[in-house]
Structure formats: C-alpha cells, structure tokens
Amino acid sequence: MHTSALVLFSGGQDSTTCLAWALDRYQCVETIGFDYGQRHAVELQCRTTVLKSLRERFPAWNGKLGEDHMLDMGLLGQVSDTALTKDKAIDFEKTGLPNTFVPGRNLLFMTFAAALAYRRGLTVLVGGMCETDYSGYPDCRDDTLKSLQVTLSLGLDQRMVVETPLMWIDKAATWRLAEQLGGKDLVSLILEESHTCYLGDRSQRHTWGYGCGKCPACELRQAGYETYRKGQKG
C-alpha cells in the first residue's frame, strides 16, 4: 500500500492545502521545493515559515512530517523567458496562454520529484495542479499529470502514484478543504503565512492574505476567499 508521499510544496495556498491533505492521509510525508529564479522568491521564505508553523500548531502532523528538500532549478530560468522569471508585465501570448506560463516547468518538477521520491522510498507524488480555476497552463491538466504518472512509473520501473487533490475544485473549495482538514487554525495559518502573489508583494495585507491585489494570482485568491466566506455566512 501507498503510505508515504512527497509533496511538491512551494509555500503557496494550494500546495499548503495539499500538504495538509497528505499529512491527513499518509504516515510519512516529505516536501520538495524548487528555486528557479522566480520573481516571487519570497514564496521560498514563506515555505519555511509554513512548515515551522504546521509543526508547532499541529502536533499530530509533526510526527509524520519528514525532511524538506530544496532543489536548485536555476537552469529553468536560463531556458525560459516568462513573466515569472523575468522583469516584464504579465500579459497574454499569441498562443492564448499567459506569459506567466513557464514551458516544461511542471514536467521537470514532477520528474525531479519522482527521482527524489525513488531515492527516499516514497511512492506517491502530491501536487496542487488544478484544471478548474487556473490560467490554462497545459502542464496543470489532468491528462498531462495522468500521462506523467504512467511515464514516470515506466521510466523508473516502479509504481509512482501522482495525486492532485485540487484538480477539480475551485479556489473557494480549496479554502473549504483546508477548513475540513485543519479547522479554522489551518485556514488562518494559510491566510497569514502562505504566499500566492506572482509579484512577490507582501507589503499589503488584505482580508484574503498578502499580495499586490492586482496580478492574476491575487485576483484568483481574493475571489476564492470571498466566495468561501460568503458560503460560511449563508
């Protein structure tokens, strides 16, 4: 049976919720993060804070939460020319995709995560990819991830299960999932400490957390949080 997992953990709302989901479900959970020269490098500091708070505030999870691994993926910044890694305005390309799309990013992340999981004896990879409330990134689609699961399992000659608990839910439902998993305490931890803003802005605190309030990631987070709050009151 699959009892151990590696969570792709960036320190954002989605991956923090995925980490809680994994801690609720598996006996042993490790985390992996990637530094690829992203403009929102502040996210990488937030991930350390989130891990520390999860340990302190959720003793039952602390015992299951194992090592954290950071990989230097600077080469991704070298090959890509996007608004996430270069100082340019967020816009749409001729392809219809936003220029925040980093081609190959999730394919590489999943492959490196699988290699690490193989070494660590972990058999499940958990990622926060989502097809419902997303920017149209093709490497976040369910078919891409299902196909990767097959490719990785074949290429490693070992079963790798790819789990994407957020695939079919929207941002409001992601907040609800966090509440189900860890109650109000987890919701407030995510609100205060997780980072979503593409521009790495943590100077402004809104009801839905920190961010510039204008980039697509902030807009999604805000809309999701407001819908979640309305649902609570109704």
Which of residues 15 and 164 has its CB atom nearest to Zn ion in the complex? Answer: 15
When binding is defined by CB under 5 A, the residue of 76, 167, 218, 220 that contacts Zn ion is 218
Contact call for residues 195 and 46 (beta carbons, < 8 A): yes
Which of residues 112 and 134 has its CB atom nearest to Zn ion in the complex? Answer: 134
Sheet order of strands, 124-126 included: 65-72, 28-35, 4-8, 124-126, 161-163
When binding is defined by CB under 5 A, the residue of 215, 220, 222, 228 that contacts Zn ion is 215
Q: State the binding string over 25-44 for Zn ion (x if CB under 5 A, else -).
A: --------------------
Which of residues 12 and 182 has its CB atom nearest to Zn ion in the complex? Answer: 12
Crossing angle of helices 42-57 and 171-193, in 10° steps, is 90
When binding is defined by CB under 5 A, the residue of 11, 197, 208, 220 that contacts Zn ion is 197
Which of residues 149 and 196 has its CB atom nearest to Zn ion in the complex? Answer: 196
Distance, C-alpha 7 to centroid of its chain? 8
Nearest in space to 38 (alpha carbons), one of 100, 103, 95: 100
Mark the segment that binds Zn ion (CB under 5 A) among 35-43, 53-61, 112-120, 190-198.
190-198
Mark the segment that binds Zn ion (CB under 5 A) among 26-34, 102-110, 112-120, 209-217.
209-217
Mark the segment that binds Zn ion (CB under 5 A) among 32-40, 49-57, 84-92, 196-204.
196-204
d(CA 42, CA 45) in angstroms, rounded, equals: 5
Residue 90 contacts Zn ion per CB under 5 A: no
Which of residues 31 and 196 has its CB atom nearest to Zn ion in the complex? Answer: 196
Residue 198 identity (one-letter amino acid): Y
Nearest in space to 38 (alpha carbons), one of 1, 90, 87, 4: 87
Touching Zn ion, residues 124-183 (CB under 5 A): none
CB of 181 to Zn ion, least distance (A): 25
Which of residues 113 and 199 has its CB atom nearest to Zn ion in the complex? Answer: 199
Ramachandran sector of residue 190 (left: φ over 0; alpha: ψ -120 to 50; beta: rest) = alpha
d(CA 228, CA 234) in angstroms, rounded, equals: 10
Alpha-helix residue ranges (DSSP H) falling in the chain: 13-25, 42-57, 59-62, 74-79, 105-120, 142-156, 171-193, 216-233
When binding is defined by CB under 5 A, the residue of 33, 165, 211, 224 that contacts Zn ion is 211
The contact set with Zn ion (CB under 5 A) reads 197, 199, 211-212, 215, 218
